[in-house]
Amino acid sequence: MAKRDYYEVLGVARDASASDIKKAYRRLAMKHHPDRNPDSKDSEDQFKEAKEAYEILSDGQKRAAYDQFGHAGVDPGAGGGFGAGDVFGDIFGDVFGDIFGGGRRGRGGAYRGSDLRYSLELTLEQAVFGDNVSIDIPTLTGCDTCGGDGAAPGSSPVSCETCQGRGQVRMQQGFFSIQQTCPSCRGSGKTIEDPCADCHGQGRKRTVKTLAVKVPAGVDNGDRIRLAGEGEAGQGGGPGGDLFVEIAVEPHPIFERAGRDLSCEIPVSFSTAALGGEVDVPTLNGEVSVKIPSESQSGRVFRLRGKGVKPVRGGGTGDLFCRMVVETPVNLTNQQKDMLREFEASLRGSKVSHSPKERGWLDGVKRFFENIGS
């Protein structure tokens, strides 16, 4: 017997939108559903015909092939072999899924455990060079007494009488038949008559677990280390969740980090800045000597290549940027003060400018007040 045109089956135009096709199928599905017409072979056939048409026209590639080649362009068996149970499951999973909710529960009541997050504080040295750290995680672990099934030793869970071990029950509402989680066993398909005394039948108990975390060299704030299966234990034999260790680097008294580069300030005496000299600068690998040219100004930056951080994701080692800060002498004696006043007077009396920024700054101040007065 020749098949009818799929658009004709659903009663839609050939340029119908995906939304119109779904609405048409929903209308026909509710009208000819086997649960509403249990004794009608004609309704069952029309239901199967509508489902076959929907499966083709709701798939973009299949619809394009059908529009070009007709029934010969699609698998003629794509809509065949429908049993009443399969049809029911497909309809409520595909068409009505957006109304009644999302994903289905796992079979046998097995659920994956929840993921956990732990904030791990590290020193800058630990983050740069890596370390092995022990952490304590409050979590749910499988009960050793019952082996995780929740039943007391010597007993076992039994099949749920309400759902006959399926974990799902079917509720009839008018001509709708809705499948939902069994309220007695909560989807596990089993009940526990003699619960474990240690976990009270839950199969899991709260404990503090100590874990060793290998921190790779070069991690930074916000990086995460994933420990697979170290989250909460699963239920009903399900796999455990994961533990995500989030890195938080403590402030360092000397260095600041920006990606692969480090920066710091180096105090330099007034005389060293004026006459030049060498200053010992700390790095994460030990001290290095930095040559300070004569007449260096406060704020000058010295770059030490390769003294930064090698990133955890690869790439070259960064640099260390040292910003020079000229220190003003404090706790001066009267003699030292007199010497500085004499030194200042000699600078003022000289015809040579000894302050490279002073002239430009004074000119800027003069223009500022002239603009205010104009």
283-306 tens-digit pLDDT: 998 999 999 999 999 999 999 999
Higher pLDDT, 37 or 77: 37
Cα-Cα-Cα-Cα dihedral sign, residues 97, 102, 104, 109: negative
- Distance between CA atoms of residues 250 and 121, nearest Å: 6
Q: Evaluate if residue 111 carries a pLDDT over 80.
A: no
Tell me what pLDDT residue 373 has: 64
Distances (CA, A) of 369 to 146, 159, 220, 374: 86, 92, 48, 9
Q: Are 320 and 307 in contact (CB under 8 A)?
A: yes
Residue 82: the pLDDT is 34
Cite the beta strand spans of the chain per DSSP E: 116-122, 131-142, 158-159, 168-173, 176-181, 190-191, 204-215, 224-227, 243-249, 256-258, 261-269, 277-283, 286-292, 301-304, 320-327
Nearest to 66 by CA among 22, 2, 14, 28: 14
For residues 197-207, give the mean pLDDT: 85
Interior angle at CA 321, CA 248 and CA 358, nearest 5: 125
Burial 158-182 (b: 16+ CB within 10 A, else e): eebeebebbbbbeeeeeeeeeeebb
318-360 tens-digit pLDDT: 999 999 999 998 899 999 999 999 988 888 877 676 666 666 6
Question: Coil, helix or strand for 31?
Answer: helix
Give the pLDDT band (50/70/90) at residue 100. very low
Q: Indicate the helix (H) or strand (E) that contains 274.
A: helix 270-275
> Would you state the CATH architecture of domain 6-100?
Orthogonal Bundle (1.10)
The HSE-up count of residue 83 (CA atoms within 13 Å, CB side) is 2
Q: Is the pLDDT of residue 93 over 60?
A: no
Please determine, for residue 96, whether its predicted confidence score (pLDDT) is greater than 60: no
86 exposure class (CB count in 10 Å sphere: 0-12, 13-18, 19+): exposed
Q: Residue ranges per domain, the chain?
A: 6-100, 104-154+197-251, 158-191, 256-327, 334-373
**Whether pLDDT at 281 is above 90:** yes
Alpha-carbon dihedral 264, 270, 274, 275, rounded to 10 degrees: -100
Which DSSP letter does residue 166 get?
A: S
Asked if residue 205 lies in contact with residue 140, where contact means CB atoms within 8 angstroms, the answer is: yes
Q: Tell me what the mean pLDDT of segment 25-42 comes to.
A: 82
Question: The domain at 104-154+197-251 falls in which architecture?
Answer: Sandwich (2.60)
Helix or strand holding residue 19 (H, E) = helix 18-32
Q: Which one is predicted more confidently, 43 or 210?
A: 210
pLDDT at res. 175: 61
- DSSP, collapsed to helix, strand or coil, labels residue 278 as strand
DSSP strand pairing (256-258 vs 301-304): unpaired
CA 296 to chain CA centroid, Å, is 48
Q: Which residues pair with 176 in a beta bridge?
A: 173
The whole-number average pLDDT for the span 249-275 is: 94
Does domain 256-327 match CATH 1.10.260.40? no
Of 101, 110, 92, the C-alpha closest to 150 is 110
Amino acid 292: pLDDT: 94
Going by pLDDT thresholds of 50, 70 and 90, the confidence category of residue 122 is: very high
Strands 116-122 and 243-249: parallel
Given this chain, do its domains 104-154+197-251 and 256-327 carry the same CATH topology? yes
Q: Is 67 exposed, middle or buried (0-12, 13-18, 19+ CB in 10 A)?
A: middle
